[in-house]
Amino acid sequence: MGDVFDETGLTVKILSEIITDLTTGMQGIYGADINVDQNSPDGQLINLIAQASVDLRELAVQINAGFDPDQAVGTILDQRAAINNISRSGGTFTIVSIDVTTDRTVILQGLDADYNDANGTGYTIQDDAGTKFILIDTATLTAGTTAKDFRAQQVGLVETIVDTITTPVTVILGVTTVNNPSAPSTTGVNEETDTQLRIRRQQSTENGNSGYLNGLLGEILNLDGATSAKLYENVTDITDADGIPPHAMWLIVEGGATADIAEVIYAKKSYGCDMYGATTHPITTASGATFTAEFDRPTPEDLHIRFDIQKTSLDWSLDTDLIKQYIEDNLIFEVGEFAETSRVTAVALAAIEATGKDAVPINMEISSDGATWYDYLTVATLDNQWAVSIARITPTVL
């Protein structure tokens, strides 16, 4: 097949075809009996020219693919995404659920509209290493234990260990203990990856959709700091099985400033559609009235993982701690997403390969309580999000 650029796209010759064409050409010049074996001077010259030809064709293929935002990479992807008014996010924050225990009613100041401000302030706690975390939304807590989302003070990759965020930095009378019983719902990254930018660009094209549901979700996912979101709607006259009131929508958002989310709800929500959620934020409209946006933040749900590791040789050992840490860092679920063992197995295999050892994970099982094991699990409620922690990963080397 020759090099063709037509309505179906770009097609180029492969290495074997180029070598055949060059060999035929050389034989036409010097005779059919010339020596074109790979170890001969003419054969080596043919291979050098052929490889250079392949390199140029691969470059042409990459340039052509770069015009498609779903295939472009790096700076070219940034340029293509800009056509949809989308720019690469510079970094995200680690978000972790903290159990705050109080012996009276207290008001804790959150970041609120300053969610994306690295210098934002609010009720602050820290872990054993001194890494600080700030309450995302201002909250009024009554006596007892309440789970609230906190954002790492530092943008980028901030990892945590379960049961180590226990020290208040901001001293508030009435707060008795703080603790993180689960792994982060989101681990921050230093910069948005190409894959994440492609997905966000695809979702952004729904912003102008005539249906409010997709348009609202697209705008939410385009907010700074918003890493995951789900939107559900109940169009019936009765409360549905998920607890959504009649003719209402239920928005669950991970990350992003509460004020920004509320502004999108106000701008995109259709008239007559009610809202559902425990997080509220008031907006003063142009007429001076108050619009109160309602939505929810995700609730982490523990995921237990156990599997066997089949070694191919008995003369080496595996560092299972490294494998567990890799799984915690790379097995990330979105809000309401189900868990199934084939995906977990793929991450576990990558974790083993990262150690440089030749072994495979087998007999993979997952559980929500560490007692009953399955191949597939859904979260208990739509606003839950599977949380993975090394404390709940059990690999057994055979």
Residue at token pair 């003070």? 153
Domain ranges of the chain: 4-65, 95-179, 206-295, 299-397
What's the mean pLDDT in 202-214? 63
pLDDT of 293 strictly over 70: yes
Among candidate residues 126, 179, 168, 129, the one with its CA nearest the CA of residue 151: 126
Tell me, what DSSP letter sits at residue 186?
Answer: B
Which pLDDT value is given to residue 203? 65
pLDDT of 210 strictly over 60: no
Lowest-pLDDT choice from 42-56, 254-268, 307-321, 364-378:
307-321
pLDDT of 383 strictly over 90: yes
Average pLDDT, the chain: 89
Residue 219 Cα to chain centre, angstroms: 17
pLDDT band at residue 80 under the 50/70/90 scheme: confident
What's the mean pLDDT in 170-175? 95
Please enumerate in sequence order all residues whose Cβ is within 8 A of that of 280, keeping only pairs 6 or more positions apart, or say none. 292, 293, 294
Which pLDDT value is given to residue 75? 85
pLDDT band at residue 8 under the 50/70/90 scheme: confident
Residues 305 and 363: their CA atoms lie apart, in Å, by 11
How many CA atoms within 13 Å lie on the side-chain side of 47? Answer: 9
Q: Which long-range contacts (CB under 8 A, 24 or more apart) does 286-294 make?
A: 291/266, 293/261, 293/262, 293/265, 293/266, 294/265
Which pLDDT value is given to residue 222? 82
Report the predicted TM-score, pTM, of the whole model to 2 decimal places: 0.60
Which pLDDT value is given to residue 207? 54
Residues 212 and 233: their CA atoms lie apart, in Å, by 11
Q: How many CB atoms lie within 10 A of CB 376?
A: 10
Lowest-pLDDT choice from 90-104, 169-183, 215-229, 237-251:
215-229
pLDDT band at residue 275 under the 50/70/90 scheme: very high
pLDDT band at residue 208 under the 50/70/90 scheme: low
pLDDT of 125 strictly over 90: yes
228: tokens are 């995951």
pLDDT band at residue 233 under the 50/70/90 scheme: very high
Tens-place pLDDT, residues 312-323: 877 678 889 999
